[in-house]
A and B are shown apart, each in its own frame.
Chain A
Amino acid sequence: MPELPQRKAGIVACSGEELAEGTVSRLAALKVLQELRPGHTVTICLPLFLAGGEGDRAFARFHPTITIDGCELRCAARGTEMYSGKPAASIVVNDLAAEHGLGKIEGRRQLNAAGKRAVEIAAGRLVELVDEVLGKGDHPAHGGEITEPAPQQTRIATCSCGSGIPVGKITIDGNAVEIVALPLIFQRFHELGRSPDAAADELLATVKIYNYVAPGAENRFRETIVRAYAAFCEQEAVQ
């Protein structure tokens, strides 16, 4: 059985050429990818993503993805949602600039002082979001603080998204729902000796790292996942 994959966050920047804010989005994303969180983030190239890049789309389906847009058109956020799924978090540079009272951002080729400041602020916000979606702190999924990433070991491509990660199915309100990495999550919790009832919240939190769960559906997911995990533990006990 493959290892539970090392979590990384994908970052999608709009890089819009028409506005200086697009340049801010690009530079802020690159700052995070290359300097601030290089081992824990992955570049998603938006044009390749939109043109059908399967590797980028599969990654964005499976890993938490953060978008940064220059303006309210939110091309990166909408594009990500269209082809992979709702982003884990989104930033709009214009909103950040207004929030911090920055002056007019200008210079799409060479940013002015306000633009450079916006890059710093946006990069800082991205780092906060990366740390948040990767779940810093004690957690069975990653065993504690964020550690250096290890390569994924996948041999069986079982997920239709092309990520190569096993999937499991549960039934919510009569509908079959595919949960990415569910078999691996159950195996990890079982290896750690976690009982179904005691681990309910942590199970849900781990599932949410790899799958989007609407806030209103969390209770139903929690209950169903706990029942499925209990069945898994019974099966393991029999074997």
Chain B
Amino acid sequence: MIPNKQSVVVVPCSGIGKPFGSVSREAAYVLCEELRPADTQLVALSKLVLGEQQARERVRTSLAVTIDGCKQMCAAKLVKGNGGTIGREVAVFDVYRRYKHLKPQGIAELNEQGKKLARVLAEEIAESLDTIDCRGSEQGGQHA
């Protein structure tokens, strides 16, 4: 539990065109369901963009961790453009460059390497959560 801090919202891109999109989705699930369930809330990107009240409120009142599959950085752009403050922007692709033996394949069903990459990514984010300033400022914003 992050002491005296609100939970962060986690917003994956879940892009459907590349395996990295599935990695972003899986990493978000690992982070929010297994590693740091008390400190994180998963928010669907399209709900935020299309104006769903609860999603907008969550993003407005908590720092966001965005997980983008590729360098288009759609989740980061859209969270910023819809009133969110990003505590950490993660590009799966950058993490892959550090773990190039974990080559993800498959979109509907990730291969084992893709699942491992998602876990590595989720673990990195989980470790960094304690250093994110959750008071809603941009300080401490990091890129993967």
Interface residues of A (CB under 8 A from B): 13-18, 22, 26-27, 29-31, 34, 43, 45-48, 50-53, 73, 75-76, 78-79, 82, 108-109
Contact = CB atoms under 8 A, between A and B. Distances in A.
B77 A45 contact: no
Contacts of B46: 14-16, 46-47, 50, 75-76, 79
Interface stretch (B24-32, B89-97, B125-133, B134-142): B24-32
A43 B43 contact: no
B35 interface: no
Given A47-B15, A48-B17, A79-B50, A18 B72 contact: no
Nearest to A26: B16
Contacts of B74: 45, 47-48, 50-51, 53
A76 B21 CA distance: 17
Contacts, number: 85
24 contacts: A14-B44, A14-B46, A15-B14, A18-B43, A18-B44, A29-B16, A30-B107, A31-B108, A43-B16, A43-B17, A45-B16, A45-B74, A47-B14, A47-B74, A50-B46, A50-B49, A51-B77, A51-B78, A52-B77, A53-B74, A75-B44, A75-B46, A82-B50, A109-B33
B28 A17 contact: yes
Nearest to B21: A45
Q: Counting chain B CB atoms within 10 Å of each CB, which of A14, A31, A51, A76 scores highest?
A: A51
Contacts of A45: 15-17, 21, 74
A82 B44 CA distance: 18
A29 B42 CA distance: 22
Closest 9 interchain pairs by CB?
A: A75-B46, A47-B74, A51-B74, A30-B108, A15-B14, A45-B17, A16-B44, A47-B13, A75-B50
Contact of B16 (A13, A18, A52, A78): A13
A8 B41 CA distance: 38
A52 B49 CA distance: 12
